[in-house]
Amino acid sequence: MSADSWTGWWRGRQDAFEEALRGLVEVNSFTDNRQGGLEVGRRLSALFRLAGVEARAVPSTRYADHWVFRTGGDARLPPVALIGHLDTVFPPGTFEGYRIDGALRRGPGVLDMKGGLVVVAFALRGLAESHPGGLDALPPLRVVVVSDEEVGSPEGAGVIREAITGSNAALVFESGRAQDAIITRRKGTGNVSAVGHGKAAHAGNAHAEGKNAIWAIARWVDAAQQLTDYARGITVNVGKISGGLGKNTVPEHAEAHADIRYLTRADGEALVERLREAAERAAASVPGTRLELSGGVNRDPLERTPANVALMEEYARAARASGLGAVEAALIGGASDASTSASMGIASIDGLGPRGKGFHTVDEQIEVETLVPKAEALARFLVGRAGASGG
């Protein structure tokens, strides 16, 4: 069977894609908006209600439920993981609704990443309805949609690990970039907090008796910032500090919170250790104070490997056949759930959602005409994995 005989399913279905996307975007699913996330999950599960797809909600007490969709597929083939998230960064009332703007569609999550979820759902729907053998003729699929990615997937990472174990490829449908660039590497991320303890005293009558926690924290902040090494891809950003009661009281408490980024797990762990050493020196330089550090490495980096590059090239062939670009993206500073799959030794690529820009801003938008070819590209990739004629 030629590719045209089944890829034709997606053509002329732009309105169906949009109807599904509008239904997801119009419900606020800010990470902490549990009820909104639950509703988006219900709507999403309806999109994946297909022959051969098993759906399971993974309960959460803090966030909305996570979702895992599985297919039986051809047991002779290794599973393929398809990963996404349903939460957004916008609290209720800050950025709402779905808006048509010429060739663009605007709204919270159109790009990051409800658009990507629609791409996955329609790729599977088209294959289930048009490809000979349906989904059973393809590799077993492990589709995971978490509800807490925007806060680092504290629960979602475990859901992903459990669901995709045994997969040999992971495709993540985060925001699509210009030229349909495929992401093969991302920095790892972490958080480090320093809490300073001193001794309060009156700044005029008993200044010498006070032990200034802010002074100790300030010295740590200065040392921490100097650990940034752009040449090695390492950054430290102390983005928030607080402490003290007023200018006429020696502060007994202060704290600082830092974001750290790195290219390898080893660099991240070494950076955390250097931050601890800096805390010891800072406290020692202000006698009577003490600094406590918490946090550390959070998400591993998505490191560029031969396996990632080979997977990118395999997907790129399907993307080009569907009329898309397929260049390799430059290093991405932000993390995603691709870091979780990569940390399991699974070849991983990212950024496969619809093309757009403005994620995490009220200018979030997609080029609506990329929805259909993105779904077709995923379908071609999966058929190619199965070795089917015309894939």
* Three-class secondary structure of residue 334 per DSSP: coil
Angle subtended at Cα 384 by Cα 379 and Cα 386, rounded to the nearest 5 degrees: 100
237, 266, 299 - which closes a domain: 299
Residues 251 and 316 in one domain: no
Same domain membership, residue 193 and residue 323: no
**Which ranges of the chain have pLDDT less than 70?**
1-5, 388-391
| pLDDT score for 1 | 45
Both 170 and 226 in a single domain? no
pTM: 0.90
Place of tokens 């993206």: 329
- 329 and 355 share a domain? yes
Do 127 and 65 fall within a single domain? Answer: yes
113 cis-preceded (ω within 30 degrees of 0): yes
The C-alpha atoms of residue 333 and residue 124 are separated, in whole angstroms, by 31
Q: Residue 293 corresponds to which tokens in the numbers above?
A: 């550090």
- Among 278, 299, 320, give the residue marking a domain's end: 299
Same domain flag for 24 and 103: yes
Residue with tokens 């430290």: 236
CATH number at residue 225: 3.30.70.360
Q: Which residue has the tokens 């699974």?
A: 346
Q: What is the DSSP pairing of strand 348-349 with strand 169-172? A: parallel
| Confidence at residue 389, expressed as pLDDT on a 0 to 100 scale | 36
Provide the domain limits for residue 236: 188-299
Does residue 391 sit within a domain?
A: no
Give the per-residue pLDDT at 11.
Answer: 85
Residue type, position 162, single letter:
E
Same domain, 103 and 23: yes
pLDDT at residue 388 in the model = 44
Q: Chain-centre distance of CA 357, in angstroms?
A: 15
